[in-house]
Amino acid sequence: MKNLKYFPFDRNQYYYGKLLTEQDFIQEQRYMNDKRRLHNRFLHGVGVAAGFQVVEVDEKSISVEAGLALDFAGREIVSDTPVIRKLSTIDGFETVMENRRGDYVYLCLEYDEQDKMPAYNAAGGRDFRTDKIDYDKSREGYRLYLTDREPDKVSLTVDSLMYSRTILYQDSQLTVIQKYPKFVQANEEFEMTVTVENKGNPAMISLNFTEELSGVFCGGRGSVEAAVEETVLQRAGKAEKIYRLKALDLKEGEAEFKVSPQRFCLRYGTEEKKLSSEKGFSIPVVCRDRISQVKEQFFQEAMVEAVRDNYPQGIYLSRIYLIKTEDAYVIDRVENMPFDQYVYSSCLIMSITELLRQEIKNLEKQKSSLDSGVVLEKKDRTPKETEGRQWKTAQGTVKINLGVGGKRGQRFFSHEIFHGLGLGPVHIELSLQEEDMLYSGSSEVFEQMGIRAEIAARADMAKGSFVIGLRLLEASSSQDAVIHWKAVMAEQEEEGDKEKRIYILPGKLEMRVRESCYLEAVCEGMPGTQVLWSTAGNNQGFISQDGMYTAPNMPGVYEVTAECQGAPEIKASLFVVVRE
């Protein structure tokens, strides 16, 4: 069914002797199909329900796996076999190559159907003047197409119901995006994320801007001083900064954000980029909790969107990064479902809900154990390992001299203790010993304690040491306080445990014929590794063993490979675009 409208619903009525025409049977099919599409749209959503992964086959081709999806009109899109296609044979390829907006394209999926089995209409004949042909069947299927434009509206996804995005700056090289909640409660703290995405060549990038606030504060100030420090971003790399803000106690209103061109500075290498005009957005401040607000918004807007937005819009299956020349391309990598357009089944939702419930229970147990001063040990775990992280510990005992005793509120301190675990953040656990008893947590719980005191530790991360302090809650005649300590630190990843890989800098290279350029192979997890350079074959240019590549005398796209001498399976490739 190619129609995109649901309404009105007219159902056939039958009676004895009724004359049935083809319109009656068409109406019968349309009624059932439209009811099912409406059910799909409102009760299930829009997106991929299963499968439809996009896999890179070679430098020119991709494979779209079998899958099931629901489009924006509620129609089912089904594929039972994988399909391998060259990008150049997919609709929209020539347009995106001519536009040259960036280094990636989107692969989209939309519903389609084709007429099958031509038939001769014995009753109506055939109109040879219009070449109209009747068909016995319609084959439901889909169409793939490429575009370089993002979707006009990504609706009915988990992210779209909770968050909004504003593009602060965009050109062919960089994009600056702000992500924030669709609404916040009065007097609520929330997060805003600033993301810088590099779509061009690897470069040093920095961002500084001041955003004026109204109805919201950041650290007690009426502005956000946003900054992404100088960092090298590879092509398709991202840098993010998260800022915590707090909405004012407004019964109804909006939190407003504005950035002027004079207070915005974005650097891309040596190039400085500016805003052309003032940018801004607003967040509604509501009195109710988020769950109630999401429900109300969905119930209010879903029907309006279904009636109003009846234009065809595809499902974005993947973002495909390309290395492009004037008349050629190479697939760099494939990112699946860039806008998270998924349809969640009830079974999957129940599983996720159960996992979240278990996480909440674990957090509540941890909180109650911390409040009581008892540290719960996790059972059935390997020594010094918790949730994939390695931990190293040290422990000891220190005696703090109290003189002839102390008065209430008096403070005493130990000498500087070096725990021996190295530099960095460390967690210190303390307990107070009296005869054969060890006391942890609040000293006000057990009445028989001889020393009632608060004990704390101050760690110096730069020196790898700490000092223990004690403050008496009551006067004591004891001359010494014996304190047992345990230091716990996350173990630094050993060089040999790091993932071993090689990558080539620069990550993208364009040259002229017979031009030379020095390439650098960066080895991670393999100190002192010898790198071997090579080209893909004859007439691919020449590269010396110190990384100096000389382009051939013919334009094209050529592959250069760097591999580890001791482990040939660890290697990286760079596609060099050579122009006249």
Topology, domain 158-308? Immunoglobulin-like (2.60.40)
Query: In what helix (H) or strand (E) does residue 234 lie, and over which residues does it extend?
Result: none
Closest CA relative to residue 567, chosen from 503, 500, 519: 500
Amino acid 307: pLDDT: 63
Instruction: Give yes or no for a contact between 519 and 574, defined as CB atoms under 8 angstroms apart.
Output: yes
Going by the DSSP 8-state scheme, the letter that residue 496 receives in this structure is G
Closest CA relative to residue 551, chosen from 531, 533, 535, 562: 535
Domain spans, the chain: 44-149+314-336, 158-308, 391-490, 499-579
Amino acid 378: pLDDT: 39
Amino acid 123: pLDDT: 67
As a whole number of angstroms, the distance between CA 227 and CA 225 comes to: 7
Instruction: Give yes or no for a contact between 496 and 529, defined as CB atoms under 8 angstroms apart.
Output: no
Strand partners, 179: 165, 193
Instruction: Give yes or no for a contact between 503 and 572, defined as CB atoms under 8 angstroms apart.
Output: yes
As a whole number of angstroms, the distance between CA 333 and CA 201 comes to: 15
Mean pLDDT of successive 10-residue stretches along the chain, which has 580 residues: 69 87 85 86 87 90 92 88 91 84 85 83 57 79 89 69 86 87 86 86 86 85 85 80 85 85 89 88 83 78 66 84 78 88 86 85 67 40 46 85 81 85 85 86 79 90 86 85 88 57 79 84 77 83 85 84 82 82
As a whole number of angstroms, the distance between CA 166 and CA 57 comes to: 35
Topology, domain 499-579? Immunoglobulin-like (2.60.40)
Amino acid 376: pLDDT: 38
Amino acid 469: pLDDT: 92
Amino acid 309: pLDDT: 56
Amino acid 386: pLDDT: 44
47: left (phi over 0), alpha (psi -120 to 50) or beta: left
The answer to whether the 158-308 and 499-579 domains have the same CATH topology is yes
Pair of tokens at residue 529: 């590794």
CATH class of 391-490: mainly beta
Coil, strand, or helix at residue 536? coil
Beta strands in 216-304 (DSSP E): 216-217, 223-233, 238-247, 253-259, 264-268, 271-273, 279-286
Amino acid 107: pLDDT: 94
As a whole number of angstroms, the distance between CA 255 and CA 245 comes to: 10
